[in-house]
Every structure is written in structure tokens, then in C-alpha cells.
């Protein structure tokens, strides 16, 4: 097993030591596990199939279902009112 010197932020080191103590483990084993996890995640991400997201490729501007005469505040206020009324009806039902 090799020894090396690394620089770690003091706050992060304190958190890692506290975590190791709570888990009844050595700081060394916690750091090793963290490195293994990040390397494994990186490898898994490389193997994951690429996701193609649909994009609109028509004329610039609003989507067909968007009413440009309504602003976002109006839409969110309307949705909040609908949610409130529906919630009130559910809670008030016999």
C-alpha cells in the first residue's frame, strides 16, 4: 500500500473525520471508499446510453400551445387558485 500527501480543505477534513468516527472506521477507509465511488460513477456514466431530448425545430417564437397574451404570473396565479379550490373541495367533502 502506498502513502501519499494530499491537501484537503480543513472543513471537509473535519467532516470526514467525524463521519469516520461515527461509522467506527478509519479516515483512510472513508477516503478510499469515496475515491472508489467517484471512479465507479464516472465509469458508469461513460457506459450509460446517451439520451436524445426532443427539440422544437419550427419557426422561432412560442410553442403552439402557449398563449403569448398570458404572462407567467397570470398562469401561476391561476394554477394556485385551481389547486386551492380543488384542495378545499377534497377536504370539505362529507
Question: Does a structural domain hold residue 66?
Answer: no
* Position 91 confidence tier, pLDDT thresholds 50, 70, 90: low
Q: How far is CA 2 from the centre of its chain?
A: 35
Question: Does a structural domain hold residue 26?
Answer: yes
Pick from 40, 33, 37: which is nearest to 16 by CA?
33
d(CA 15, CA 1): 25
Question: Does a structural domain hold residue 19?
Answer: yes
Per-residue pLDDT at 24 exceeds 70: yes
Question: Does a structural domain hold residue 42?
Answer: yes
- The whole domain housing 20 covers 10-47
> Structurally, how many domains does the chain consist of?
1
Up-side HSE of residue 80: CA atoms within 13 Å toward CB? 6
Percent of the chain predicted with pLDDT > 70: 62
Query: What's the whole-number average pLDDT of the chain?
Result: 81
Question: Does a structural domain hold residue 88?
Answer: no
Q: How far is CA 42 from the centre of its chain?
A: 17
> 5-20, pLDDT tens digit by residue?
999 999 999 999 999 9
Question: Does a structural domain hold residue 82?
Answer: no
Q: Residues of 25-46 as b/e, b for ≥16 C-beta within 10 angstroms?
A: eeeeebeeeeeeeeeeeeeeee
* Position 94 confidence tier, pLDDT thresholds 50, 70, 90: very low
Question: Does a structural domain hold residue 84?
Answer: no
Amino acid at each position: 500500500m502506498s502513502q501519499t500527501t494530499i491537501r484537503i480543505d480543513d472543513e471537509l477534513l473535519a467532516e470526514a473525520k467525524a463521519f469516520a468516527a461515527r461509522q467506527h472506521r478509519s479516515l483512510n477507509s472513508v477516503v478510499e471508499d469515496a475515491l472508489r465511488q467517484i471512479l465507479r460513477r464516472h465509469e458508469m456514466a461513460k457506459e450509460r446510453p446517451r439520451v436524445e431530448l426532443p427539440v422544437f425545430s419550427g419557426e422561432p417564437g412560442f410553442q403552439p400551445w402557449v398563449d403569448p397574451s398570458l404572462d407567467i404570473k397570470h398562469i401561476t396565479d391561476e394554477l394556485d387558485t385551481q389547486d386551492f379550490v380543488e384542495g378545499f373541495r377534497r377536504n370539505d367533502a362529507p
